[in-house]
Amino acid sequence: MLARLLKRELLRHWRCRQDLINPLIFFLITVSLFPLAVAPGSELLSRIGSGVIWVAALLAAMLSLESMYRDDYHDGTLELLLLQSGSPFSVVMAKIISHWLTTGLPLVIMSPLLAVMMQMNSNAIGALMLTLLIGTPVLSLIGSVGMGLTVGLRQGGVLLSLLVLPLYIPILIFGAGAVSRAGMGMEYGGQIAFMGAFLLGSLSLVPIASVAAIKVSLK
């Protein structure tokens, strides 16, 4: 059931390729502007690189959240999926996984190129990819709850930001902090452990909360 729903979600995203490309272009342009504003060769770039890339990734993930439930909600498909599948949990998980595969994973893949532009060293680049690999699924999971609560609102974008941004801050702090410590040759295992705990906690609780949020919006 989950595999079939996931295949449907990936095909749906592929048909709306503009929704896939826009967050990636935003991520690329946002990070690329910083080297232009700071003198080439400046140590400032390497110091701020982790924070810049992580903030840009967070905003890019938020930019793509509306595509998670919006179209299926407005044409009635979401309600049919929840009723006919017999497993609302599988429907939500398929949407979360497809969102990460089409948004979070490309951000991870693009990050080394942007890290080189920010003059980050190899240790920092490795830590950046690892933290994004752990952190971007958390962004998709938390965003699923916020989107589930606001999908029925006409202008839910601002409310969605207010709901999910405070929950994104811890993962942003630990992610950027781990990369900064790696760039300075320091141990960052503690930050990775906290991020792993966030991921496991989100996997345990968020799908249930997302199902409840969607049911509230459908009533």
Total number of domains constituting the chain: 1
Q: Where are the beta strands (DSSP E) in 38-108?
A: none
Element housing 205 (H / E): helix 189-218
Amino acid in position 210? S
196-207 pLDDT per residue, tens: 999 999 999 988
Element housing 158 (H / E): helix 157-183
pLDDT at res. 155: 67
DSSP state of 120: -
Range of the domain at 190: 2-218
Read off the pLDDT of each residue in 166-173 and give the average, rounded to a whole number: 93
CA distance 108 to 53: 10
Question: Which of the four pLDDT bands, split at 50, 70 and 90, describes residue 134?
Answer: very high
